[in-house]
Amino acid sequence: MAIRPILTDRDPALHKMCHAVTQFDERLGDLLDDLKETLADANGAGLAAPQIGILRRAVIVVDENDEMLELVNPEIVQEEGEQDGLEGCLSLPGMWGYVLRPEKVRVKAQDRHGEWFEAEGTDVVARCFCHELEHLDGHVFSEHADRLYTSEELEVLQEREQKKGRKR
């Protein structure tokens, strides 16, 4: 296992379509292990293979129980409701934006051995499923945000919101 460098939005690999995983072997296991270790080191909620320069359809998402789900060849099979919330990305460090996503998402994926399964998530996990799966198609969350905020701008914005809440 190894911690891999995370590519930034300027890298062309992040904007390319990923290939399906067809071989469920030791190399795939190593990739998934590296994704997990890199994600843990970065303290993120999800990580997709293209973010470490591998154009394969594999992602890791942290679920409601703080466990890392390995999703190979994932696809969204059901969406419900909607939520508007802040997103960030390990490939756009220090940048945040409000993005409209489904409130509940069900995905179908394969595990590291090729066995199909389904997983469901709400709130942050649903947001993460959508965010990471978009990476596999060459997209980043900033394409959906009306504007991006720096960490400093976001802090000021949140302070304003807190003050408004106290005045009510």
Give whole-number Cα distances, 97 to 10, 23, 127, in Å: 18, 36, 13
Please state, in angstroms and rounded to a whole number, the distance separating the CA atoms of residues 107 and 2: 27
- CA 51 to mean position of chain CA atoms: 10
Please state, in angstroms and rounded to a whole number, the distance separating the CA atoms of residues 133 and 107: 10
> Which residues, 6 or more positions from 143, have their beta carbon under 8 angstroms from its beta carbon?
none
Q: Would residue 132 show up in a list of annotated catalytic residues for this protein?
A: yes
Instruction: Please tell me what DSSP assigns to residue 16.
Output: S
Active-site residue identified among 37, 64, 132, 143: 132
Contact 24, 56 (CB under 8 A): no
Residues catalogued as catalytic:
132
